[in-house]
Amino acid sequence: MLAMLLVAMGLFYLTLSYSAEMKLPLLESALASVQEREAKKAESFLRENLNAMAVKLGQMQAQLMRLDALGDRVSSLAGLKPSEFRFTENPGRGGALSTSMPPQNISMADFGRQLDMLSRNLENRTDSLGILETTLFDVRVKRRLLPTVTPVEASWNASSFGWRLDPFTGQNAMHEGIDFIADTGTPIFAAAGGVVLTAEVHHQYGNMIEIDHGNDFVTRYAHTSKMQVKPGDVVQRGRKIAEVGSTGRSTGPHLHFEVRYRGVAQNPSRFLQASAR
């Protein structure tokens, strides 16, 4: 029995080994069929991988376009010049070939892993830039709500913030704003965007307007001749709200301008000078 098995195995081996020389049509056809199936299987596997990579590549290209647009917006919010960051250009890279480590061909599996890692890194960068854009936008909005616009066109002021001799009593008294000298009827502008709190006649400030800018900041415009807003109005930064006058406790036409934080008078010059920086 063992001898017959060994003889059969030998014949099978000889048949496979010399099939090409022996020109056996049936066996050649069977081998060709097996080779064709294997080739089709390998081609199908390669095509599926290429299609999957093509889809991944398309997603990464879309992510890169969004990243470029996001980078441009962040640069604009940060006040950077377009020439300083060119997101659409590839960064320069180079270097000599290593003499100690020879280059290696990358396998299909390694290429797929690198592609997946790059896709995840793009998503992380996009998320981080999105958070940065939101933060910069919030900072920019808050900055625009600070009273940094000079409320009236005047080349000088008659009385600065701080201690001074009161023009009516002659006593040393705290002056809680800045007095801008201007002719009656000169336009007065909102120093920042906000909501009008008060537009009324005050026994000392005369015709007075107060604007709430949020974040506990309020500006006050006093001694006006005309008020052109009312309580509840939403005003934009730089909008005309009144005209210069000499109403209330005043010795002549001027604008008395105050900045208050949580009810405490601040030096308006600190904010007005910030607009020049």
Residue 19 confidence class, pLDDT cut points 50, 70, 90: low
For the chain, give the mean pLDDT.
78
Angstrom distance (rounded) from CA 220 to CA 90: 52
Strand (E) or helix (H) holding 200: strand 194-202
Same-domain pairing of 189 and 132: no
Is residue 151 in some structural domain? no
pLDDT tens column, 24-46 = 566 566 666 667 777 777 677 67
Is residue 194 in some structural domain? yes
Angstrom distance (rounded) from CA 248 to CA 224: 9
Is residue 253 in some structural domain? yes
Same-domain pairing of 28 and 49: yes
The pLDDT value recorded for residue 207 is 97
Same-domain pairing of 134 and 19: yes
The pLDDT value recorded for residue 175 is 93
pLDDT tens column, 211-228 = 999 889 999 999 999 999
Is residue 150 in some structural domain? no
The whole domain housing 115 covers 14-84+108-144
Is residue 63 in some structural domain? yes
Residue 227's domain is classified under what CATH number? 2.70.70.10
Q: What is the mean pLDDT of residues 252-273?
A: 92
pTM of the model: 0.56
Is residue 7 in some structural domain? no
Is residue 89 in some structural domain? no
- The most confident of 70-74, 102-106, 205-209, by mean pLDDT: 205-209
Long-range contacts of 50-53 (CB under 8 A, 24+ apart): 52/112, 53/111, 53/112, 53/115
The pLDDT value recorded for residue 277 is 43
**Where does a domain end: 144, 166, 191?**
144
Same-domain pairing of 270 and 161: yes
Domain count of the fold of the chain: 2
